[in-house]
Amino acid sequence: MSEAVTLAPVHPQLSVRQRFPRALVWLLVLAPLFFATYSFANWFTSQRADVGTLVFAWEQHTPFWAWTIVPYWSIDLLYGLSLLLCSSRHELDIHARRLLSAQVLAIAGFLLFPLTYTFARPEMTGFFAWMFEVLMGFDKPFNQAPSLHIVLLIVLWVRYAAHTPKGLWRWLLHIWFGLIGLSVLTTYQHHFIDLPTGILVGWLCIWLWPLDRPSPLTQLRWQAQAKGRRLAFYYGLGGLALGALGVSVGGLGWWLTWPATALVLVALNYLLVGAAGFQKHADGALSWASNFLFGPYLVGAWVNSRLWTARQPAPVLVMDDVWLGRIPNKGELDGTPIRAIVDLCAELPCTRAGRAYQSLPTLDLLPPSPELLQAAAEAIEQARQQGPVLVCCALGYSRSAAAVAAWLLNTGRAADPQAAEAMLRQVRPGVVLREEHRRNLAAMAVGT
């Protein structure tokens, strides 16, 4: 688990001495907030009569390992040092916002869905017993799901991994952070449900504050297209229904809250955030946070793309070294002449395998705008300088087809959208271009 620190030149590297004042300011903000909100949530929940428990039967066999209080406590030291670890002001501010978001979201969970821990610790003596006594001086058994320890673990793990060289040190880091995660169970601090909910919130904090692009919170725009709003409604309704089913079934049904969360976030992308919400990198990969948060949806989208294209998996040549097809699997383009890829898919990663690559992410089932079609046409023409180019989306029938049609129009190879569509259907009969696509193609042609 790692997040590359690819900061632009406008974010210069700072020495430890230069980082210290701003890191100290952030620590003076975050530390009092942590103790104040954590203590308040503990006190407030202890006064309530509606505090429940959520324990699986198998948890009765969870061992108590007193020594794991050491890795459990170590997260406090790692928390403070992580602010000095950041090598630029930009990285420091993003990391601090993640820590702040972790606190806010976890405390909100404690207050909205109060739970308590139920297992009694065995009697202890010695140093470990003293560490537990200090811990219980301010940590009561009411702050459960999502485990703030796990939320912070994800945020810190990503930050430390980005600054740890590969090899032995990276492996030691992973082992230690793994012990911290295990310790929330073996110190009898949390029940199991607190872990996956904590992991989910941790990745949400990272998704909210990415290092290499603006935050989704700064990109909120109401979806202008009625179809986009309808899709947002359907995805949101599906997510809420799936979540309600998981909660009502209980047991293994709780795992349904993961795909439920993914569908709700997809709805948010369609309604407010746009294609940028999938956080696709310039190399075709999705961010770690997107891979986790949207994971169940991504699996479904990939399976859907393979089922729909099972009869025509290979790309087709349109003309003049421009090919049209689905987003390729790893190794799928081996043995083909394709040397460049123009990718219109927002929701699935693309394996470039050393080829020239251009990503123009657009949401599935929505027609690309005239501006994006113009950009795609220019990207295709530029990519042709590298050799044969594949223009792809999830299926290779709609978004990418519209992009190739835009290229045909922009380069004079087709006189109008209808002629471009007819040329595409000759080589790929399953192409789906609707009236909105034709209208945007015509608007692009007028604009050029």
Q: Which residues are catalytic?
A: 393
Among 79, 72, 71, 73, which residue's Cα sits nearest to residue 160?
A: 79
Rg (CA), the chain: 25
Among 304, 303, 344, which residue's Cα sits nearest to residue 327?
A: 344
d(Cα 141, Cα 218) in Å, to the nearest integer?
Answer: 36
d(Cα 408, Cα 415) in Å, to the nearest integer?
Answer: 8
Cα→Cα distances 285→258, 311, 403, Å: 21, 26, 21
d(Cα 398, Cα 316) in Å, to the nearest integer?
Answer: 14
d(Cα 110, Cα 6) in Å, to the nearest integer?
Answer: 35
d(Cα 140, Cα 101) in Å, to the nearest integer?
Answer: 22
Backbone torsions φ then ψ of 88, nearest 5 degrees? -145, 165
d(Cα 29, Cα 62) in Å, to the nearest integer?
Answer: 37
d(Cα 53, Cα 34) in Å, to the nearest integer?
Answer: 24
Strands 322-326 and 316-319: antiparallel
d(Cα 178, Cα 166) in Å, to the nearest integer?
Answer: 17
Give the SS3 label for residue 189.
coil
d(Cα 363, Cα 232) in Å, to the nearest integer?
Answer: 11
d(Cα 273, Cα 403) in Å, to the nearest integer?
Answer: 22
